Homo-oligomer: A and B are copies of this chain.
Amino acid sequence: MIKTKGYAVRNAAEKFIPYHFERRAIGEKDVLIKISYCGVCHSDIHQVRNEWGNSLYPMVPGHEIVGEVKAVGSQVSTFKEGDLAGVGCLVDSCRTCASCQEHLEQFCQEGALLTYNNYERDGKTLIQGGYSDFIVVNEDFCLRISDKLNLARTAPLLCAGITTYSPMKQWNVSKGQKVGVIGLGGLGHMAIKFAVSFGAKVSLFTTSLDKKEDALKLGAAEVIYSKDAEEMQKHVNEFDFILDTVSANHDLNSYLQCLKRDGVMVLVGIPDQATPLFSSNLIIPRRKLVGSLIGGLKETQEMLDYCAEHNIMSDIELIKIQDINTAYERMIKSDVKYRFVIDSASLAD
């Protein structure tokens, strides 16, 4: 067993406290990673506070993990001690179902194992995430990370990166297209970077006009104030692709109207309430509303390699683990540009 130190919450009402636990012993296909950095995803907050109603405690969150390999099992062939490695939202899957065979492990029919807030296959051992100093993961669920990348700024790619990259690749976002991004947060700022890198002309839809300057710096060509119905009306039938990164409750119809014929709007954030949809917005003129969920391991590796090649990383605020409770309060107010990343060295403080 691997002695591990992390930060955990013991129930939905409490704050984070230091927490000592054990990782499983290094199996023959396992990699032991000393965690260098872990991004703080908005879904961490949902789960810590049991907002999805399925939380398991004590909970050590974190699924944007990067670090250095410290040991490998006897049958590991793809990693060796000293390698950089990353772990995203998944740590295992069945490998044999149709989805796994198609490299879409996130849709594993048997249920992929999540990096935290999930049980091991034994149905009783809690899996704990990356707000900690060490993690043990099957090599097939470890990602290679180029040393060209700044390691701290790479952590958020493991969730925010792949969540925005995958639907753009699925729907072939490409040069000359008009792309809209709804919301400028951890996901939204990565979405702008990717869409710009693919050659698209990018517009940010936002309810906070004070984000305009940042959006333009990130490469957006324009910023549309989505609370202004008149301004929205000017953009009807304009976009090939819109990525909706907002997980707060919001109306979809005014954005759907901005799609061209055959345009596609992708949802990646899950609001807790249903949203009213006018069917006519899809039928006339033949638009698509679809979902996307992170990405499989193969595509996550492709995304990391793409980022290394194109120098794409997240914009972050590095924090000590001791500041995690304050960071959560600030995230809820959207007061972060654009991702908190925990410096895991602070666990030794």
A residues near B, CB below 8 A?
A: 99, 104, 107, 252-253, 261, 267-271, 274-293
Contact = CB atoms under 8 A, between A and B. Distances in A.
A91 to B, nearest CB: 18
Given A277-B274, A277-B275, A277-B277, A293 B289 contact: no
A276 B276 contact: yes
Contacts of A279: 267, 269-271, 275, 291
A267 B282 contact: yes
A273 to B, nearest CB: 8
B253 A285 contact: no
A261 B252 CA distance: 22
Contacts of A289: 282, 288-290
Contact of A280 (B99, B270, B281): B270
A134 to B, nearest CB: 30
6 contacts: A253-B274, A267-B279, A267-B283, A270-B280, A275-B277, A280-B291
Contacts of A282: 267, 289-291
A311 to B, nearest CB: 29
A214 B201 CA distance: 52
Nearest to A268: B283
Contacts of A280: 270, 291
Contact of A107 (B261, B290, B291): B261
A283 B289 CA distance: 10
B293 A283 contact: yes
A252 to B, nearest CB: 8
